Amino acid sequence: MTTLSNTEKQIVENSIRDIKDFPKSGIVFKDITTLLNNKEAYGILMNHLYQRYKEYHLDYIAGIDARGFIFGAALAQMLSLGFVPIRKKGKLPYTTISETYALEYGTDEIEVHIDAFGEKKGARVLVIDDLIATGGTANAAATLVNRTGARCIECCFIIGLSFLDGIEKLQEKTDVYSVIEVN
């Protein structure tokens, strides 16, 4: 399994911009738009993900709405795999299954098409998103994948906020990998 060199890790980390007090006071938002428009950092990241997952014998990459689409679709193409979007409720046009998860104030819901992973039972799926914080969305996504008859092999995040308990909770369900960990 490959890891980023210290230099590569610095390039990727330095390309992520911190926005203080967004979306509300006290939060430091990790802005990946600056990673995406930095061709060197984005190239290093995507090559690293390709090298990591090329021997996982995956069948699909599933990206969580919406930033997971950016990394997931690109990685799926690099690995010659199909890409499956996991969307917010009401955004997919065909028959779906959904999973509700808790937010700070209330709940939200994500969906996937019932036939998203084809007819192959036990299809091996990597779920990807930009960041894991409390893990509600990621847990719901892994649950959805498994409910379709496929198997969530691992959840991958560009940034893992390890000072929150999302990674720990998700590890009860599947393997978890974060390229960059923020303590």
Neighbour-count burial of 13, counting CB atoms closer than 10 A to its CB (0-12 exposed, 13-18 middle, 19+ buried): middle
What token pair was written down for 136?
Answer: 């509600």
Q: Which of 67, 124, 151, 168 is catalytic?
A: 67
Would you call 17 a catalytic residue per the annotation? no
Q: What are phi and psi of 82, to 5 degrees?
A: -80, 155
| Alpha-carbon separation of residue 136 from 52, 107, 109 (angstroms) | 25, 10, 10
Among the options 8, 13, 99, 104, which is catalytic? 104
- Active site annotation includes 147: no
Q: Which residues are designated catalytic? A: 67, 104
